């Protein structure tokens, strides 16, 4: 009568780096060439939900992503599964009459179902939420004792940026010094309540898959870009300290300056790579110009922009009022779907539409 199934579900938001991770010093362990800092997004809009199940009836480890079966044979999945299984402990469910001994986990197989509520691999950090959620759900299922930072070092081996999604608020991924990667992990700088005036709008310039994966892009940059060497050695160490200071003091002017500068330098590294990598497109560039002009005309920054490995703009407004103004401007200059320049907007909160005075527009309804 070995018919039982034991399940756990977890939900993990994605994160957006304000100091970018770009370049690995070890590709297998996923060890970066510099520290990075990110903000974890509100799970309502960009998150992964993962259910993990274990049963003696399962013949092999299997996984479904957005309803489609995917292969678990890749090194990244295998590393995460191996590391988490190593730490599995005894689990007992008295109601169901289930007892799993520590040693049983090596023989038992898993079924994993994962859903993203946003476009996969479009430069919206889908792998970040995905591996963080997988590791967290498995840790719950297997009664793993390790804390979030220790789990982050496992999620890191799935996707580097994933290690930062184990925490809310602002998070730092410390690059570490050890060769085995044991000190390359994420720590929370401040929790989500520390700076809750910030408001994030994502302009989905294109929901198509990106052309150069971050893995091959990073490899090419590490091999060919001198700017990457300079950035990792001379720029990021100082910038990381300044960013931590800005976050601690909720100093939006410094925060915006550092965030925009770091995004621009990351994309400059991509351009400095041979052959050059273009993640931003013309619409991305026009959004940057628009925000720069607006910030200058206001006298102090209202909005910070940052772009990952894709053309989509992540816009961080200093507060709800600035976000409302920003959205109004964006809808005017970059209307979604009108000429395929821009797909849609993902916004932090629906009420922003009302404050922007655009609640009557038909297109806007479809955005939320
Ligand atoms: O974790 P990966 O391999 O998806 O790389 C993420 C790289 C960037 O998103 C461009 C930067 C970052 O720090 O998240």
| 263-297 pLDDT tens trace | 999 999 999 999 999 999 999 999 999 999 999 99
Q: Is the ipTM of this complex over 0.90?
A: yes
CA of 54 to the centre of ligand 1 (A): 31
CA of 192 to the centre of ligand 1 (A): 21
CB 36 near ligand 1, within 6 Å:
yes
CA of 161 to the centre of ligand 1 (A): 5
CB 17 near ligand 1, within 6 Å:
yes
Residue that has been written with the tokens 């591996």 in this structure: 131
Q: What is the pLDDT of residue 364?
A: 33
CB 288 near ligand 1, within 6 Å:
no
Q: What is the pLDDT of residue 28?
A: 95
CA of 128 to the centre of ligand 1 (A): 8
CA of 287 to the centre of ligand 1 (A): 21
Q: What is the pLDDT of residue 344?
A: 73
Q: What is the pLDDT of residue 6?
A: 94
Q: What is the pLDDT of residue 204?
A: 83
Residue 33 has pLDDT above 90, yes or no: yes
CB 161 near ligand 1, within 6 Å:
yes
Q: What is the pLDDT of residue 313?
A: 93
Instruction: Give the 3-state DSSP-derived string for the chain, with helices as H, strands as E and coil as C.
Output: CCCCCEEEEEEEECEEEEECCCCEEECCCCEECCCEEEEECCCCCCEEEEEEEEECCCCCCEEEECCEEECCCCHHHHHHHHHHHHCCCCEEECCCCEEECHHHHHCCEEEEEEEECCCCCCCCCHHHHHHHHHHHHHHHHCCCCCCHHHHHHHHCCCCHHHHHHHCCCEEEEECCCCCCCCCCEEEEEECCCCCCCCEEEEEECCCCCCCCCHHHHHHHHHHHCHHHHHHHHHHHHHHHHHHHHHHHCCCHHHHHHHHHHHHHHHHHHHHCCCCCCCCCCHHHHHHHHHHHHHHHHHCCCCEEEECCCCCCEEEEECCHHHHHHHHHHHHHHCCCCCCCCCCEEEECCCHHHHHCCCCCCHHHHHHC
CB 160 near ligand 1, within 6 Å:
yes
CB 272 near ligand 1, within 6 Å:
no
Q: What is the pLDDT of residue 206?
A: 77
CB 127 near ligand 1, within 6 Å:
yes
For the full predicted model, state whether its pTM sits above 0.90. Answer: yes
CA of 53 to the centre of ligand 1 (A): 29
Atom of ligand 1 minimally distant from the CA of 161: 1
Over residues 310-344, the pLDDT tens digits come to 899 999 999 999 999 999 998 888 887 655 567 77
CA of 283 to the centre of ligand 1 (A): 21
Average pLDDT, the chain: 89
Q: What is the pLDDT of residue 334?
A: 84
CB 214 near ligand 1, within 6 Å:
yes
Atom of ligand 1 minimally distant from the CA of 30: 3
Q: What is the pLDDT of residue 351?
A: 36
Residue 212 has pLDDT above 90, yes or no: no
CB 123 near ligand 1, within 6 Å:
no
Q: How would you class 274 by CB atoms within 10 Å of its CB: exposed for 0-12, middle for 13-18, buried for 19 or more?
A: exposed
Over residues 95-154, the pLDDT tens digits come to 889 999 999 999 999 999 998 876 554 456 567 889 999 999 999 999 999 999 999 999
């Amino acid at each position: 009568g070995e018919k039982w199934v034991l399940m756990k579900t977890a939900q993990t938001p994605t994160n957006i780096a304000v100091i970018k991770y770009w370049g690995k010093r070890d590709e297998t362990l996923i060890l970066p060439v510099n520290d990075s800092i990110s903000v974890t997004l509100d799970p309502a809009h960009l998150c992964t939900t993962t259910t993990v199940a274990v049963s003696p009836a399962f013949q092999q480890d299997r996984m479904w992503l957005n309803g489609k079966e995917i292969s678990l044979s890749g090194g990244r999945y295998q590393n995460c599964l191996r590391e988490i299984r190593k730490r599995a402990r005894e689990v007992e469910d008295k109601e169901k009459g289930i007892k799993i001994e520590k040693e049983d986990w090596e023989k038992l197989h898993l079924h994993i179902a994962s859903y993203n509520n946003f476009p996969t691999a479009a430069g919206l950090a889908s792998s970040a939420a995905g591996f963080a959620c997988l590791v967290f759900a498995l840790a719950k299922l297997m009664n793993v004792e390790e804390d979030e930072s220790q789990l982050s070092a496992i999620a890191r081996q799935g996707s580097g940026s994933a290690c930062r999604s184990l925490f809310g608020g602002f998070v730092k991924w410390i690059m570490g010094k050890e060769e085995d990667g044991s000190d390359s992990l994420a720590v929370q700088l401040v929790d989500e309540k520390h700076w809750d005036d910030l408001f994030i709008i994502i302009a989905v310039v294109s929901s198509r898959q990106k052309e150069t994966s971050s893995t091959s892009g990073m490899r090419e940059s590490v091999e060919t870009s001198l700017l990457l060497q300079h950035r990792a050695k001379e720029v990021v160490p100082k910038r990381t300290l300044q960013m931590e200071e800005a976050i601690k003091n909720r100093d939006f002017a410094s925060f915006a300056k550092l965030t925009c500068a770091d995004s621009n330098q990351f994309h400059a590294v991509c351009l400095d790579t041979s052959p050059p990598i273009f993640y931003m497109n013309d619409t991305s560039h026009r959004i940057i110009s628009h925000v720069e002009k607006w910030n200058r005309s206001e006298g102090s920054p209202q909005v910070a922009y940052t772009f990952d490995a894709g053309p989509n703009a992540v816009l961080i407004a200093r507060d709800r009022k600035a976000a409302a103004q920003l959205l109004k401007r964006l809808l005017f200059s970059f209307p979604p779907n009108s000429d395929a320049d821009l797909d849609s907007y993902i916004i932090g909160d629906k009420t922003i539409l009302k404050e922007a005075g655009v609640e009557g527009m038909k297109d806007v309804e479809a955005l939320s």
